Structure 1
């Protein structure tokens, strides 16, 4: 009903304006002589379905042409878009080593720090494939086929439907190309790792009726390893090399079944059955601890292969057929340190009848990292995408109209293969009772021996375990996921009638889209028979039927004080088979008081529909790292009496200390500890869509006195409610105790007694549920500022100066009803740096066959948690009494701003070959370490993933034929 009223009002207003326009013709004294008007080609601008000759719209659009893309020296779309000041850290990055799932290894984009799922990605104006979790992998789009990238930094659900909340990325591919082009690229980090090789070849041929383009691309990026540089070798960076080490190393640690004392086998000893070969566990020094960072990849390696074919055929003068097909494969690999195997996390014990047990006759609890068998994950993704359509033109009501109809099909198949996890039934057998057969130690069970069982001397250090044992206990797991989309669209747009300001235009369209997919986890992992995280299968589908209408009304033109004034109204109705219907409207205006100045603004409703994974995903497990607010030394209870009272009321004992699960000792800093028991997360089939309101207001000033100079300022305000969120462990505990929201207190339980096998103390969190819900709100606002100047040509060439900045004034989150708003602008929030100011400045120069550019990327300083805010031992804590609104704890460390400088030089030879050499982060600038980054989601050093890890240089050669 809402949509019908909107449409009727808009059309009625347009008809009244048509009548008024007859009387207004005389007032328009400066009307353009129609006989001298030029016939201009109309174009489609991202964010509107109406074709227009005016490319300046009422919406803020950032455009990168092919030259700007090449000037970055980057070879994948995700990294290119991440350079935008308005972009945040994607939900998953190549250095998310600890993250699991089928999306790991992909490349994503995140506009406005609103999340990758709230950024819609289009290719040539049509939706690209998404995973079951709603993420769009940009690695499937080869850079060699891109003509330009348009980024609409505005809500656009009224035009495109779901997901267009943070913005829309529209990747435009080449439409016409004659000849052939080959590119070769090589780059590497200053430390000699992360080598990238890129090869692509494009061929095209155009005739009067037909234009065909084919391309092939290959890219190989080698991994970066933690132990290759000081920034990543240790968990807390080079300033604290003794911190963050694991208590579970490759030398066996045992718990005396009689006294509870812990012992570690002497390094180098192999007779684990003799207690004399052990010494008391020392958790205070590195002697018995282990630096697991050195065994891990910092950034994953990948191989990308793309095939691309596009054709446009002019069937008649007014009808054109078009088609596009692409096939992409992505292979990524990452490595974690060997599994920290222990009785507490698996329930597996060393049998009292095992010959290697130093306490004969008594089952024994143990800790042992399988460092000799690191955990390696290979992720293979294959995407097939087909886009077929027809478009045409016709005359109606005395105006040009265009129409199009199309069908898009995409299918994504992902296989994740992992090794290095332990198959628990075999480990139980290998650590079970033993016997002697023909003078050789063997597993006591004949059935186990027949299955390949070999006794495991697990407590001895590296070198004492033969390969036959590793082969027996190692589990090779395989997960598979398939998702597919069928999308049918039809659109028509054109002019209705003329007003003094121009032609009133209308666009209408319909869309039917079906999404389906399934995830099949490894059977042994799913059954809990391995040390890999368990997950349940996912299977589901939904479809949506949608219709939209857009009306553009240019009211005034060429009048004193109103060189141009127009409005645009759009509305989209969407009906989903799972949750029902939603209607989203958008209103925008453009006003040019005089020729040099454009004022523009929008008000738009938006939504994000729950994904298949949100609705139908199986229950998963994760081992979360968190700081317990009830910890009496580092938690909020240490300085907040109200929190301490709430903790006591929930059964937490006085003086409670959170225990480091790997060392068994109380935690020593604000970083907390990883839970020794898995927490649960899951889907919710009753989820409703997220909803948003976006407001923008901007100015575009192009003074005629200085040709080539443009200033833009755009204010944005985005409000999102009913956010679909799993709510992590840290947030749940903080909401319950710090923000006093009792609805979160039922999501977890605490131990009533100590458990030596798991390391849980009395009062420790022993169970926590992170299932999804429509919960909370998010509001962000700020300014985008752009200055672009193409200087007049000089004797030494042409210069172009471009400056783009985003100034963030608000980023406010509310966890749920009654919760305290948190405004962490200027803070490091997990992986996202909520910078007050991000800015890019580039100077580009061209002279004959030479060209060069210099780019400066600036990030303002951030507030970070202290390494330690212990009053007796302050470390990296500039404001120990500062109340941190994000974590609810005291202490803040101010980290300074940082700027990276990039340089590039180009030379075009007479034979149409172009040589390029460049260096990104030319001064090898090191950004700050952020201790509030939860190991960057990586298990690696707490380094900001937005920053360059070190200097990166590259060379490329382009040959046109």
Structure 2
């Protein structure tokens, strides 16, 4: 900590000292300066610089490249980058009710909340309530001029959330006339089709003072189901090894469908005669058919049976990718007040829907009595013969349909600003923005829990009719529900039991920012440039669930209302200082400094800083290095999530047995300090019960801190025209990272810490008289850490020829040297993930392009290195830990028929490579392509 503090103080001194010199020198320098200095804007800094020099590692992807690749969502290309990992996406969000369909990117795998997404260098409203990450579904690809990916801590320049890096999306501003674009992607097997249509129009009006760019984009992505792909329809799971001999692995792969043997859609029960029974579609009782038989082996193998058995098969339900339907409107305008000042605005409106889906409601504790009016005589006789007054019906209630999570998200963002010239060498830019996200979530296929229990208890009335047993339920309109067989329930009964439920959410972002930048004075090596900025941001979020969700009266889902907000004021300064130029071993040497002060209404004051050095010993070689401190303040959800009741069974480590099993003497000492004497035990009642508590946010959270550095080189040999090679070594050390802690972990580390003064002890409450834990809160705390290191490599080689067109080779690769995370700070919980399939050693993109007159062709591959499922694997665990390397090739092309009309075409995943046949990743798991071979065609026409 001392070294870091010293560096921080040194940065502050350097910044303010440079400011003082600048203020003293600037007047005389400008008085002598006569020539016009041209300064350009470089991503990664708010300074406009003389010459195109990037102070930080940047990867650039153009909008044209995305279109030629058949990309219809900017998240799809970002997720292919070796420096990125899939965040939440349509492939990973199907069973995440409030997040279904979201598209968030995740630089370095450090989390979407640690990746800052900007549009034209400015913030964009969050993509889901309580969150801070931007939903990339709101960005139309037809409006993207380029995306600049800064893979390194950038909080000193851009503020919170930029720990892992920044995605800066630059929109088009050069459209003249009307441009129509359409594309369609058709997988070889049905499911997962994608289509997109856009209209982009722009021009200059009012004597060229007003320029506008308008875009409307409609995009649709259809769902992908497990039954749509051969490799998904034939899954790879795992079972306990039937071979239990010494040395044999505990688990082995199981190829093919594996239905559950004790539940199905017609209903199944176990009788006292030892048999399992089910019903045909008409409700007639029969012996359950196990097909190929129960799966042999220990553990829970017997819960599953062969593919043709009558059990419930999850392959028939759910989605691998949720569907998306997006409508995006964008209008950007510039108005020149005069030669020195310009008004600008950005308006974005997005409306999109996504539908998650899971199984119908199901019941495993479902008691029905022998006098149920819907039982057949044969079933009732069996119960009489075997002495059963009731049966427990295990059932998937398909009558109510699959449970669907229908999401509708509307985003409106309005930004206005003014920018211009203060003096010959100083510019300014001011903007104010208001962004709002409205989310509506509706659960369909739900049921009223009480009505279900009343309706299933059907009996004969005195007149022979079938009624609900409960008289009050009858009076309320209860309609008897037949659960024996499939689709035997009347529509009236289904209507009486069925319901839907919903939640609305509103997220609002208000920002204002001022940037003043310019050249301060000239040193022998060049001009000192600076940028001063002030920012204000307010984030607000609230959710309003239906009363049924609050009360917990529907099947399986509860939710509580939430409301939270915070604001932050920030002041920042940057300097770019040329130190040497055109001298021996210093063709160019420059120093970059940045400092940001932040004051959060929730997390308090904090700061971020950066020191960067750019050194070109010769013209062909540039070496760059940065050292920075970045921060991430907790978001609204982490701070203000409402308390929702939960129950948990866990061990009290202070009991008579466990207090002696601690890793050190801390446990015994702390348990006694908490008032629990030696030999203490919880009460018998405590041991025998699940304990009530709650899940909630934590308003006491503070900001996360990342200390990171990069050192790299750019080599552009003058003797090989068109060749450039970039290598950057990077490292992140994140402390006080926010981690969700369950009660078992909190109790354990409360007493295993050095003292009781720690983040865990406040998470639970003991009874003052008995010592029993009577309440707890499972919530996020600042307990985690990350230690991540690696190397980025990028090479570009443009090869023009006189007779055979132009060739281009492009390689982007990331080598992961280290990936360690610790959720608690205790040595025993250290997780070493590098080399696991989530974080392989190598990831790479390779492309070979060729252009000849109006024709362009490209072969592109994505590579994931071979990996393991777990670094903690032992031979006795399983025999499927190894996951092979994976390469997918795309072949694409374009042809310009005229200046106005062009056609794009291609085949994605040309060789139809499926995910590795491994229980962990056979379904893609968000890391591997699940669409298979797909053909796309696109056209662009300019009017």
TM band (smaller chain): 0.7 to 0.9
| Larger deviation, residues 334-343 vs 147-156 | 334-343
Alpha-carbon shift at residue 794 of structure 1 (Å):
2.6
Q: Find the aligned partners of 1:456 and 1:745 in 2 and give their Cα distance.
A: 49
**1:531 matches 2:550:** no
Distance 1:770 1:589 in 2: 44
2:289·2:310 contact (CA, 8 Å) conserved in 1? no
1:835 aligns with 2:835: no
**Partner of residue 82 from structure 2, selected from 67, 81, 85:** 85
- Please point out which of 685, 700, 710 is paired with 2:724: 710
2:283 to 270, 284, 287: 270
The alpha carbon displacement at 1:465 in A equals 2.1
Cα gap change, 1:284 to 1:605, in 2 (>3 Å): closer
Q: Offset of 1:847 from its aligned partner?
A: 1.3
**2:348 aligned with 1:307, yes or no?**
no
Give the one of 355, 359, 362 matched to 2:373.
355
1:188-199 equivalences under 5 Å are: 188-199=186-197
CA distance 1:517–1:748, change in 2 (3 Å)? closer
Answer whether contact 2:714 2:727 (CA < 8 A) is retained: yes
Residues 232-255 of structure 1: per-residue CA shift (max 9 Å, x gap): 235536952244647432132346
Counterpart contact for 1:251–1:265, Cα < 8 Å: yes
CA distance in 2, matches of 1:848, 1:725: 55
1:920 aligned onto 2:920: no
Cα deviation, residue 734, structure 1 = 11
Equivalent residues, number: 854
The answer for the alignment partner of 1:855 in structure 2 is 860
Aligned in 2, Cα 1:944/1:575: closer, same or farther, shift over 3 Å? closer
Q: Distance in 1 between matches of 2:273 and 2:428?
A: 78
**Superposition pairs for residues 16-35 of structure 1, below 5 Å?**
none
Aligned residue in 1 for 2:628: 604
Match status 1:959 vs 2:941: yes
Q: Answer yes or no: is the 8 Å Cα contact 1:928–1:943 preserved in 2.
A: no
In 1: Cα distance, 2:535 partner to 2:23 partner: 31
Assess, with a 3 A threshold, how the Cα gap between structure 1 residues 475 and 216 changes in structure 2: closer, same or farther: same
Q: State the partner residue of 1:64.
A: 61
Q: Distance in 2 between matches of 1:17 and 1:728?
A: 53
Distance verdict in 2 for CA 1:791–1:911, change over 3 Å: closer
* Structure 2 residue 799 is matched with structure 1 residue 771: no
For the residue of structure 1 that corresponds to 2:549, the secondary structure is helix
Q: After superposition, give the CA deviation of every residue in 1:312-332 in whole Å (9 maximum; x if it has no partner).
A: 011011101000101001101
> RMSD of the TM alignment (CA)?
3.9
Aligned equivalents of 2:755, 2:13: Cα separation in 1: 46
Which deviates the most, 574-583 or 891-900?
891-900
Q: In structure 1, what is the equivalent of residue 247 of structure 2?
A: none
Asked whether 1:427 is paired with 2:460, we answer no
Map of 1:823 onto structure 2: 832
Deviations 1:623-655 (A, max 9, x none): 99x999xxxxxxxxxxx999xxx9xx9999xxx
> What secondary structure sits across from 2:827 in the alignment?
coil
CA distance in 1, matches of 2:117, 2:581: 35
Q: Cα offset for 1:16?
A: 6.9
Matched, 1:898 2:886: yes
Q: Is the 8 A contact 1:7 1:549 kept in 2?
A: no
Query: Partners of 1:544 and 1:945 in 2: how far apart?
Result: 36
Cα deviations by residue, 1:693-743 (Å, 9 ceiling, x for unpaired): 111001000000011110000011011111212257999999999999999
Query: Would the alpha carbon gap of residues 15 and 416 (structure 1) be closer, same or farther in structure 2, given more than 3 Å must change?
Result: closer
Structure 2 partner of 1:285: 305
CA distance in 2, matches of 1:278, 1:504: 82
2:543 to 475, 498, 519: 519
**Pairwise mapping of residues 751-766 of structure 1 onto structure 2 (< 5 A)?**
none
Q: Distance in 1 between matches of 2:716 and 2:699?
A: 51
| Structure 2 CA distance for aligned equivalents of residues 335 and 916 of structure 1 | 34
Which residue in 2 is equivalent to 1:442? 467
1:253 to 234, 249, 268: 268
Taking structure 1 as the reference length, the TM-score comes to 0.82
Q: Which residue in the other structure is 2:47 paired with?
A: 50
Deviation at 1:770, TM superposition (A): 4.4
Deviation at 1:495, TM superposition (A): 1.3
Q: How far 1:565 moved relative to its partner? A: 0.8
Q: 1:920 to 1:681 in 2, by over 3 A?
A: farther
For the Cα contact (< 8 Å) 1:94–1:107, is it kept in 2?
no
Shift in Å, 1:865: 5.4
Unaligned runs of 5+ in 2: 238-252, 295-301, 652-660, 668-678, 683-689, 766-773
Counterpart for residue 154 of structure 1: 152
Residue by residue over 1:539-571, the C-alpha shift from the partner in whole angstroms, topping out at 9 and shown as x without a partner, is 111111111111111111111111111111111
Match status 1:137 vs 2:165:
no
SS at match of 2:95: coil
* CA positional deviation for 1:530: 1.2
- Match of residue 112 from structure 1: 108
Residue 512 (structure 2) aligns with:
488
Mapping 1:197-276, distance limit 5 Å: 197-207=195-205, 208-233=208-233, 236=236, 240-243=255-258, 245=260, 247-254=262-269, 263-268=276-281, 270=283
Q: Does the 8 Å contact 2:68/2:894 carry over to 1?
A: no
CA distance in 2, matches of 1:421, 1:745: 39
> What SS is found at the alignment partner of 1:613?
helix
How far residue 943 of structure 1 moved from its aligned partner, in angstroms, is 4.2
- In 2, are the aligned partners of 1:283 and 1:289 still within 8 Å (CA)? no
1:930 positional shift: 4.3
What does residue 182 of structure 1 align with? 180
Aligned partners of 1:81 and 1:803: how far apart in 2?
15
1:210 CA drift (Å)? 1.9
Greater CA drift, 694-703 or 283-292 = 283-292
Stretch deviating more after TM superposition (238-247 or 54-63): 238-247
Deviation at 1:376, TM superposition (A): 1.4
Decide whether the 8 Å contact of 2:90 with 2:323 is kept in 1: no
Using the alignment, how far apart are the partners of 2:878 and 2:134 within structure 1? 38
CA distance in 2: counterparts of 1:242 and 1:682, whole angstroms: 39
Residues 437, 323 of structure 1: CA spacing in aligned structure 2 closer, same or farther, 3 A cutoff? farther
Question: Does the alignment pair 1:791 with 2:819?
Answer: no
Question: Displacement of 1:230 after TM fit?
Answer: 2.9
1:381 equivalenced with 2:409 (yes/no)? yes
Q: Kindly report which structure 2 residues correspond to 1:654-669, keeping only aligned pairs within 5 A, or say none.
A: none
Relative to structure 1, the CA distance from residue 544 to residue 529 in structure 2 (aligned partners, 3 Å threshold; closer, same or farther) is: same
- Inter-partner Cα distance in structure 1 for 2:739 and 2:861: 36
Give the whole-Å Cα distance in 2 for the aligned partners of 1:787 and 1:957.
30
Give the C-alpha shift of residue 450 in structure 1.
4.5
Note if 1:509 corresponds to 2:533: yes
2: CA distance, partners of 1:710 / 1:677: 62
Contact 2:364 2:393 in 1 (8 A): yes
5+ residue gaps in structure 1?
26-33, 629-639, 653-675, 750-765, 870-876, 882-888, 934-939
**1:720 correspondence with 2:734:** yes
Cα deviation 1:324-374 (Å, max 9, x = unaligned):
10100110112212122222xxxx643676435756995654321113321
1:370 has 2:400 as partner: no
User: Alignment partner of 2:393: what SS?
Assistant: strand
| Contact in 2 for aligned 1:235/1:942 (Cα 8 Å) | no
Could you tell me how far apart the structure 1 residues matched to 2:620 and 2:606 are? 40
Equivalent residue number for residue 502 of structure 2: 478
Q: Is the 8 A contact 1:351 1:433 kept in 2?
A: no
1:588 aligns with 2:606: no
Deviations 1:726-781 (A, max 9, x none): 257999999999999999899999xxxxxxxxxxxxxxxx9997421111101111
Distance 1:731 1:954 in 2: 50
Distance 2:102 2:439 in 1: 11
Change (3 A) 1:731 1:782: farther
- Paired with 2:883 and 2:844, the residues of 1 have a C-alpha distance of 18
Give 1:159 shift. 1.3
Shift of 1:473: 1.7
Establish whether residue 454 from structure 1 lines up as the match of residue 450 from structure 2: no
Question: Is 1:121 matched up with 2:117?
Answer: yes
Distance 2:646 2:123 in 1: 32
1:679–1:171 Cα change, 3 Å? farther
String of CA shifts for 1:865-898, please: whole Å, max 9, x gaps.
59xx9xxxxxxx9x615xxxxxxx6766211101
